[in-house]
Protein backbone atom coordinates (compact mmCIF):
# COMPACT_ATOMS: atom_id res chain seq x y z
CA UNK A 1 0.00 0.00 0.00
CA UNK A 2 1.27 3.46 -0.80
CA UNK A 3 2.36 4.96 2.49
CA UNK A 4 2.14 8.59 3.40
CA UNK A 5 5.70 9.26 2.29
CA UNK A 6 5.69 7.30 -0.98
CA UNK A 7 7.29 9.15 -3.90
CA UNK A 8 5.00 8.95 -6.89
CA UNK A 9 6.96 8.24 -10.08
CA UNK A 10 5.61 8.91 -13.57
CA UNK A 11 5.26 5.14 -14.11
CA UNK A 12 3.21 4.83 -10.95
CA UNK A 13 0.91 7.64 -12.05
CA UNK A 14 0.37 6.11 -15.50
CA UNK A 15 -0.28 2.76 -13.88
CA UNK A 16 -2.99 4.27 -11.68
CA UNK A 17 -4.51 6.25 -14.57
CA UNK A 18 -4.63 3.13 -16.76
CA UNK A 19 -6.19 1.07 -13.97
CA UNK A 20 -8.74 3.80 -13.33
CA UNK A 21 -9.76 3.81 -16.99
CA UNK A 22 -9.89 0.02 -17.08
CA UNK A 23 -11.99 -0.10 -13.92
CA UNK A 24 -14.35 2.69 -14.91
CA UNK A 25 -14.77 2.40 -18.70
CA UNK A 26 -13.64 -1.21 -19.01
CA UNK A 27 -15.94 -2.19 -16.16
CA UNK A 28 -18.84 -0.41 -17.83
CA UNK A 29 -18.24 -2.16 -21.17
CA UNK A 30 -17.78 -5.51 -19.45
CA UNK A 31 -21.01 -5.38 -17.44
CA UNK A 32 -22.90 -4.00 -20.46
CA UNK A 33 -21.78 -6.75 -22.81
CA UNK A 34 -22.25 -9.45 -20.17
CA UNK A 35 -25.72 -8.08 -19.38
CA UNK A 36 -26.63 -8.02 -23.08
CA UNK A 37 -25.43 -11.60 -23.53
CA UNK A 38 -27.26 -12.87 -20.44
CA UNK A 39 -30.48 -10.97 -21.28
CA UNK A 40 -30.41 -12.31 -24.87
CA UNK A 41 -29.78 -15.86 -23.63
CA UNK A 42 -32.63 -15.67 -21.09
CA UNK A 43 -34.96 -14.18 -23.71
CA UNK A 44 -34.05 -16.92 -26.24
CA UNK A 45 -34.66 -19.60 -23.63
CA UNK A 46 -37.97 -17.83 -22.78
CA UNK A 47 -37.03 -17.58 -19.12
CA UNK A 48 -37.52 -13.83 -19.07
CA UNK A 49 -38.84 -11.27 -21.55
CA UNK A 50 -36.00 -9.18 -23.00
CA UNK A 51 -36.83 -5.94 -21.11
CA UNK A 52 -36.91 -7.89 -17.83
CA UNK A 53 -33.52 -9.49 -18.55
CA UNK A 54 -32.07 -6.11 -19.47
CA UNK A 55 -33.40 -4.56 -16.26
CA UNK A 56 -32.29 -7.40 -14.00
CA UNK A 57 -28.77 -7.58 -15.42
CA UNK A 58 -28.40 -3.79 -15.36
CA UNK A 59 -29.32 -3.79 -11.67
CA UNK A 60 -26.87 -6.62 -11.05
CA UNK A 61 -24.28 -4.80 -13.16
CA UNK A 62 -23.65 -2.06 -10.57
CA UNK A 63 -22.29 -4.58 -8.07
CA UNK A 64 -20.38 -6.46 -10.80
CA UNK A 65 -18.87 -3.13 -11.87
CA UNK A 66 -17.47 -2.70 -8.34
CA UNK A 67 -16.20 -6.29 -8.41
CA UNK A 68 -14.33 -5.58 -11.64
CA UNK A 69 -12.86 -2.39 -10.18
CA UNK A 70 -11.64 -4.36 -7.15
CA UNK A 71 -9.99 -6.97 -9.35
CA UNK A 72 -8.41 -4.29 -11.56
CA UNK A 73 -6.80 -2.63 -8.55
CA UNK A 74 -5.82 -5.94 -6.96
CA UNK A 75 -4.06 -7.79 -9.77
CA UNK A 76 -0.31 -7.32 -9.94
CA UNK A 77 0.27 -6.97 -13.69
CA UNK A 78 -1.40 -4.19 -15.62
CA UNK A 79 -1.09 -6.06 -18.93
CA UNK A 80 -3.01 -9.04 -17.54
CA UNK A 81 -5.66 -6.73 -16.20
CA UNK A 82 -6.04 -4.98 -19.56
CA UNK A 83 -6.22 -8.31 -21.35
CA UNK A 84 -8.74 -9.64 -18.86
CA UNK A 85 -11.08 -6.66 -19.10
CA UNK A 86 -10.86 -6.00 -22.85
CA UNK A 87 -10.75 -9.72 -23.72
CA UNK A 88 -13.76 -10.66 -21.64
CA UNK A 89 -15.76 -7.68 -23.00
CA UNK A 90 -14.87 -8.72 -26.57
CA UNK A 91 -15.78 -12.33 -25.82
CA UNK A 92 -19.14 -11.38 -24.27
CA UNK A 93 -19.91 -9.12 -27.24
CA UNK A 94 -19.00 -11.79 -29.79
CA UNK A 95 -21.19 -14.34 -28.00
CA UNK A 96 -23.98 -11.79 -27.78
CA UNK A 97 -23.82 -11.27 -31.57
CA UNK A 98 -24.08 -15.03 -32.00
CA UNK A 99 -27.07 -15.59 -29.74
CA UNK A 100 -29.19 -12.48 -30.26
Partner 1 sequence: MSANGFHGAFRQSMAWLHTWAGLVLSVLLYFIFVTGTFGYFNAEIDHWMQPEAPSPKHSVSTAAMAQMGFDYLQREQPDARRHFVGLPTERGNAIRVFANLSEPTPAGDTFIEAYIDPSSGQLVDVRATGGGDALYRMHYALHYMPYEVAIYIVGVATLFMLLAILTGIVVHKKIFTDFFTLRLRKGQRSWLDGHNISSVLALPFMLMITYSGLVFYTFEYSPGTMFLTMGVEQEARDEMYGYLYPGFEQPKPTGEPAVMVDVQGPLSVAASQWPNAEIRFVDIFLPGDSGAMMRIGSTVDGIARGGSLLQFNAVSGQVMAQTPDMPADAVFSQSVLALHEGRFANYGLRWLYFISGLLGAAMVATGLLLWAKKRRSSLRGQAVPRHLAFIERTNLGIIVGLPLGVMTYFWANRILPVAMEGRAEWELHCLFLAWALSFAHAGARELRRAWREQVALLAAMCLLLPILNAITTDVHLGNTLVQGDWVRAGFDLTSMTFGLLCCLTWRYLTVPQPRTIKAPLTSQAATAPKASA
Q: Summarize as ranges the residues that interact with partner 1 (CB under 8 A).
A: 1-9, 11-12, 15, 28-29, 31-33, 35-36, 39-40, 49-59, 61-63, 65-66, 69-70, 73-78, 93, 96, 100
* Closest CB to partner 1 among residues 28, 91: 28
Question: Cβ of residue 100: shortest distance to partner 1, in angstroms?
Answer: 7
Question: Cβ of residue 41: shortest distance to partner 1, in angstroms?
Answer: 11
Q: How far apart are CA 51 and CA 96, in angstroms?
A: 16
Helices (H), 24-77: 27-44, 50-74
Do 36 and 96 meet the contact criterion of CB atoms below 8 Å apart?
yes
Do 19 and 85 meet the contact criterion of CB atoms below 8 Å apart?
no
Amino acid sequence: MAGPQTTFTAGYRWNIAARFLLAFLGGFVCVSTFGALAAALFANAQWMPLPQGVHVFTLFGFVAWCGIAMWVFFHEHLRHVALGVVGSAALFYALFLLVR
